[in-house]
């Protein structure tokens, strides 16, 4: 499969934002657990991680649709 370089660069660039959000929410969830905060807050952080994972998957699908 040949993917044009510029398309690869575009997706790589686009992936940074959801990855960033996943990173920050994972850090937050860890801190919330350590500080024994409300489980609902921790669930919210995890929910945001899942949403961003879907964003990543959608971007990757642009490059290579699932078979």
Cα–Cα distance measured from residue 3 to residue 35, given in angstroms and rounded to the nearest whole number: 46
Interface pick for another protein out of 3, 7, 8, 27 (rule CB under 8 A): 27
Residue partners of 25: CB distance under 8 A and separation at least 6: 45, 46, 48, 49, 52
Residue 3: CB minimum distance to another protein, A: 20
If DSSP codes are grouped into helix, strand and coil, which group holds residue 66? coil
- Scan residues 38-57 and list those touching another protein (CB under 8 A): 41, 45, 48, 51-52
34 vs 67, which CB is nearer to another protein?
Answer: 34
20 vs 65, which CB is nearer to another protein?
Answer: 20
**What one-character DSSP code corresponds to residue 36?**
T
By CB under 8 A, residue 60 contacts another protein: no
């Amino acid at each position: 499969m040949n993917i044009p370089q510029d398309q690869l660069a575009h997706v790589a660039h686009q992936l940074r934002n959801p990855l960033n959000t996943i990173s920050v929410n994972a850090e937050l969830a860890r801190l919330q657990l350590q500080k024994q905060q409300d489980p609902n807050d921790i669930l919210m952080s995890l929910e945001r991680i899942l949403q961003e994972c879907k964003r990543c998957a959608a971007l990757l699908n642009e490059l290579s649709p699932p078979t």
